[in-house]
Amino acid sequence: MDMAPDSRLGLDIKRAEHALMSAKSGAVKAADLTVAQYAALLALSQNPGMSAAALARACLVTPQAMTAVLKNLEGRGLIERSAHPWHQKMLETRLTDAGRQAVELADRQAVRIERRLAEEFTPEERDSLRALLARCVQAIRGEG
């Protein structure tokens, strides 16, 4: 082994990500949503009319995964999709009233987790953490 297991950062990053996703999963269950569904609804609440491809990019999932999420949300009456007025092959996606209610309920729960996380750090530490995580992404992609 070229690198001792206890000096590798990947497991620490994965552990933090897993803790966050587990907590959010529990939080959004109150609205009968998964984290992926919540992320899509939250993005749509801020950007009505997004395409599936734009939603996939915003939610950091593949287009195929987003297609499945949208199909489920549409089947549950939380979103509606319609042809874009200028680009007939592109579908715009918008929240229904039920979708707005679901994302508002889920977001109230998810924000509690985000606040707990933020309160662990000073504003300067949060800025540093964001910068360090951005550097992690660059290093992983070979951009650093």
Query: Which of 15-19, 68-72, 89-93, 126-130 is predicted least confidently?
Result: 89-93
Question: Would you state the pLDDT for residue 144?
Answer: 61
Is the distance from CB of 96 to CB of 78 less than 8 angstroms?
Answer: yes
**Whose structure tokens read 């007025």?**
85
What stretch of H or E contains 92? strand 91-95
Q: Report the pLDDT averaged over residues 50-69.
A: 94
Tell whether the model's pLDDT for residue 124 goes beyond 70: yes
Question: Would you state the pLDDT for residue 71?
Answer: 96
Q: Report the pLDDT averaged over residues 54-72.
A: 95
Question: Would you state the pLDDT for residue 45?
Answer: 97
Backbone angles phi, psi at 79, to 5 degrees: -135, 165
Amino acid in position 97: D
Tell whether the model's pLDDT for residue 73 goes beyond 80: yes
Q: Report the pLDDT averaged over residues 98-110.
A: 97
- pTM (2 d.p.): 0.88
